[in-house]
Structure 1
């Protein structure tokens, strides 16, 4: 028998993991099936140790269009670079597995997740981490799992484990949680202003729900797992560890504490570097000597460990942070609304040494983005793009396309703001927000949430409530710990948790948490969420001092959209033969979209142009009603009467008997083509023909007999009377 299959229940469906059948030359390979969604997940590491001073791990999430029976829509009809959802799926897996590689592990490692079947109801993004956990667990790669990952929805007040796409569309939250047997490691969520207590409850529910999967992978590892290779045998001796105590003594004596508490990121870095270089020079006075380069690198690593230890001690014991704040204080904030004169909406949000320019742009349905992935085909009317140029951190780097980090941070900010956007029916604009990070020293994604919200309000977008975001941290030393509000970049690196929380004054709209240590209890989560709420309310208060609510009028530079509803049967009149009529309308200075239900949207840079096009369309599609009066124009005369134009595309007939109190021998004795006169609709027959009268003559002359029905009378009788 080829392969072996393990199964367990996850939610109300069976999850199966098979190994030994496909991709057998790789270190670890599994195939997952959940419903009709299937993933092939592989894990492989190089034998030789990398020279890099960090873990060289890459995670790839490959979507194959054959998984849903589609041919790719690209020019070459093959899959191109990963889409946004694929990148986000890869990041979920990376954030789950990365912390569990052993310290000092430097082998280049690659995890590849390939979606080979997708039923469009069971989402593959949370299955990828399960497959990675299984593949790593049974491989020879040193790794501290297993882990599992699940999604939680909330329907009618009840939590649902691994909801279907349909269930998720009705949920108040979309929560993804990854963890080990004993601890939660990663959380990501989008929500409709849910309470902090609901979120903690959902996280606990998720952690309990994943235990069956973790047990299943433990069984696989016990039965099939390979012996892990010794990564430390390939490593050079770590010279930095032994010298840390001695170096710490010298650094503290040389003023390390004062250097670390220097105000300003650049000054603090310069002062700390000067102290480090002075100490290293005492050990290696000649940098050009044989072996000095390696020795200096080890000393720098040792100094970094000393620096990290001292910063953590200051935080936990003295409640003192590098910039002088205590654990609960938010950095100083200043805000400027509408710095860009031509943008539809703009704002600068600065918090400490983190600064973001938020810009909002409004467009039509033609600007919406097509989502071409393995989900049900759809178009997105809201975009948020986060840009992180190298100058924001004072660095020089090669610039290319959007990085995975930029896509991940942008998606978090997008989730946070989407929850408060008006519906498209209320506000028929496609919306794009761009967050330009101008300075970065911690939580630039949260500053993007604030700047983006302010830009929307500046543009006059009627959002439901302002949204703010704050990044939280955690430092644990034994039983002691501090939760940090509004962390710096250095605190993100040295801390044990990165916890980003976004929301309104009422509740949370987005959340992202990465935990680097075990033992994060629900109580610590509650404390962090409560402290984050205090920080969020403080930031919302600062935002309200500049813009408390959306501006009452749309930005003067924003285009105008005018909507109207017409009879769907009259859509052809608006479009015209071969699109002639709609081209003439758009030549008046507008873009026009017509939907099947008769909704017409007119988009123009000038309000006057939009209104002119609207009036034209109303005329083209207007339906006459009995009793309506018009100032009409005679467009044609005949022996029996005159044809009067009431509005564009609609004429009525004024019979000769209804023109005057006196007998009229010829129509031209009373009126001619081009004459203007007041008329009233007296009747409309079954063919849509309109009979007119002159209002001022009603009651003075006898009304005309109604027209005979088109099909009235005996088939063999006299044909209907024609005028």
Structure 2
């Protein structure tokens, strides 16, 4: 039976429908907003034998047909997920995952498919709402619903669920998700947004989140679905034993500055306990208790001990709640690349490299939204050695793509405008050591390497992560969390920005949400830490270098009349190829008339630029050109004063004296200076050489009186 509910959100109708398609799925919902439609199916299944974690999988896919398009390239079928699809899958996963009870380990898969796209309403945030709605009507212990909205900022006013066109001019692109009571997930990027304004934007969005949660509850009620009752698994039989015998030893082992020593000491406590209850070769005791249960119990007690230590005022590495780890910054650490930097914060280290290229190096992006080209992109790599592990080298995973996108969009807001800096910029962040918040270390290393490369960023940016440990009403927020604090804590709140404000923000939670008080405290703490970071970074390099490195290509850009693009290209590309071959440059032209010239040095670019300027500028009376004699007639010569543009040099204008034959003065191929003396209604150009000769002729000698001559003789 088809069940449908609707509500007006930001002036457009949002509709949820179930019972119409995919009836064998655990839960299936169609969400329509405007004419953008997203279908989400949730499917649950039994846990696999020996499984000890919650295997939630979220997948989001966009079919080009949804926008009336075909996939680009040779294959006309979508294959691996795009970066946008991966990022949206992560957006869907992050606010949903914390709302399942501890101990629930059944298989759960959420699949989102964009059925239609209207060109106005982005389906990414809609998939989060549809996923939540599908879970609300599924036989799973989901403690939702949750809602998600996008918030924009145009002319100082917040906009709920802005359209694609509004986002293009918005100084903020913020997605906020949560329950009726609290916020669960934040992902946003802005033009150095002040902290207070960012909090206001979050609260503005959360008011609409409440409406979306109400709508999903209405759907669940109409569908006659009651919330699933989850029966918690039996208490681990080793839990009390581990607390009694190992809690104090764990507490002592965890208080060590170095990650490796801390981990080794805790592992020794665990191994001692394992050896006591499970001698070599034994995995199960006579009463049925297993080694796996002991490991699980040890992990639970270890986690609780770390939380108790933190709430009592003792961080694992000895810092206070507001302290940063030691910061070290270096630039120019790698030769030949156009810029490089090494940023180290405690035991987290990022090595960044910058390469500058031309417009042809831009990353082409095709999606159902639009086709575009990114002139700035940041790639993040997380090799296994950075955490002392061994694993095969594969392509970038979801985590690497997500962290790279976060760092890229956080730095992107301070990149120079294309017209001021017509380079394509690629930053690579290699995490060479990791112990907490490597994505924010990438923001710092990227900033340093860009300034070292001479990229004129408008402001330096830095990033920091704030953690949280919360038990009841008691909580502690932790500046610059380490890996263990991220693991046992409740929050990873990443904030990047300049001294002026926030450029990037991302919140991941493990609990059921945070309130406005915690958000404000976190952002204030992050601002203090960010400014301290920037002060340290700027002692290494104060501002972007005024000149690009010698190894970097030289690029200049001009704007021409779009109607003259064909003139520059020439028939079958003849003209533009000639310019490139003669100057040794690479010339690219886009439809709006922007011409970008890339070459090995400034001289080569200047040569090509002069040719194009001469070709496209208006021929003006009185200007002097150096032109080539292309043909000779009885009545004069035709001189090419600009590529593809000839003027007539009449025989009477060849010289200031009598000329019997044109060839007496010039020959084909000669380079001569001429002056434009007229341009008629049909754009025909008349030239003169005589006018220049007259201007260069020496002034006649003045008459001298005879008396003066006599005086001179005396």
1:637 is displaced (CA, Å) by 5.2
Q: 1:691 aligns with which of 672, 687, 691?
A: 687
Aligned counterpart, 2:337: 343
CA distance in 2, matches of 1:592, 1:675: 28
Query: Which residue is 1:489 aligned to?
Result: 483
Q: 1:286 to 1:230 in 2, by over 3 A?
A: farther
Q: Is the 8 A contact 1:107 1:231 kept in 2?
A: no
**Conserved in 2, the CA contact under 8 Å of 1:678 and 1:694?**
no
Corresponding pairs, count: 693
What does residue 133 of structure 2 align with? 134
Name the counterpart of 2:500.
Answer: 506
Question: What is the CA distance between 1:673 and its match in structure 2?
Answer: 6.2
Distance 2:540 2:489 in 1: 33
Contact 1:93 1:128 in 2 (8 A): yes
What is the TM-score of this pair, normalised by structure 1?
A: 0.90
Give, in angstroms, the shift of residue 570 of structure 1. 4.1
CA distance 1:607–1:67, change in 2 (3 Å):
same
CA RMSD of superposed structures (Å)? 2.5
**SS of the residue 1:300 aligns to:** helix
Q: Matched residues in 2 for 1:37 and 1:365: separation?
A: 33
CA–CA distance in structure 2, aligned partners of residues 642 and 347 of structure 1: 60
Residue equivalent to 2:376: 382
| 2-structure distance, mates of 1:152, 1:520 | 19
Decide whether the 8 Å contact of 1:561 with 1:603 is kept in 2: yes
Q: In the alignment, which residue of structure 2 is the partner of 1:145?
A: 144
8 Å Cα contact 1:10-1:210 kept in structure 2: no
Q: 1:268 to 1:579 in 2, by over 3 A?
A: same
SS of the residue 1:126 aligns to: helix
Aligned residue in 2 for 1:547: 541
TM-score by length of 2: 0.91
Are positions 1:576 and 2:570 aligned together? yes
Residue 97 of structure 2 is aligned to residue 103 of structure 1? no
Task: Please report how far the alpha carbon of residue 633 of structure 1 lies from its aligned counterpart in structure 2 after TM superposition.
Answer: 6.6
Assess if the C-alpha contact under 8 Å between 1:59 and 1:112 holds in 2: yes
Could you say which residue in structure 2 is the equivalent of 1:719? none
The residue matched to 2:290 in structure 1 has which SS? helix
Deviates more, 1:416-425 or 1:654-663: 654-663
Confirm whether residue 22 of structure 1 aligns to residue 18 of structure 2: no
Q: 1:417 aligns with which of 411, 414, 421?
A: 411
Q: CA deviation at 1:507?
A: 0.2
Structure 2: distance between partners of 1:635 and 1:117: 60
Distance 2:425 2:240 in 1: 56
Partner of 2:255: 261
Q: Which residue of 1 aligns with 2:364?
A: 370
- Give 5+ residue unaligned stretches, structure 1: 701-723
- Contact 1:40/1:113, CA 8 A, preserved across alignment: yes
Task: Give the corresponding residue for 2:712.
Answer: none
Partner of 1:605: 600
SS at match of 1:694: helix
1:309-708 matches, cutoff 5 A: 309-317=304-312, 319-518=313-512, 520-587=514-581, 588-621=583-616, 623-630=618-625, 638-642=633-637, 646=641, 651-658=646-653, 663-667=658-662, 679-687=674-682, 688-692=684-688, 693-697=690-694
The structure-2 alpha-carbon separation of the partners of 1:628 and 1:311, relative to structure 1 and needing over 3 Å to count, comes to: same
Residue 87 of structure 1 aligns with which residue?
A: 86
Moved more, 16-25 or 425-434: 425-434
Instruction: Report the equivalent of 2:63.
Output: 64
C-alpha separation in 1, matches of 2:212 and 2:561:
55
Whole-Å separation in 2 of the counterparts to 1:215 and 1:570: 58
Q: Distance in 2 between matches of 1:673 and 1:75?
A: 50
| Inter-partner Cα distance in structure 2 for 1:590 and 1:97 | 52
1:200-250 Cα deviation digits (max 9, x unpaired)? 1111111111212211222222332546666648x5x442xx543442343
Secondary structure at 1:505 match in 2: coil
Could you tell me how far apart the structure 2 residues matched to 1:371 and 1:679 are? 49
Structure 1 stretch displaced more, 106-115 or 627-636: 627-636
The Cα shift of 1:650 comes to 5.0
How far the C-alpha of 1:47 sits from its partner, in A, is: 3.2
Shift of 1:634: 6.0
Deviates more, 1:639-648 or 1:441-450: 639-648
State the SS of the aligned residue for 2:432.
Answer: strand
Q: 1:229 to 1:657 in 2, by over 3 A?
A: closer
Structure 2: how far apart are the matches of 1:513 and 1:281?
A: 40
Paired position in structure 1 for 2:175: 176
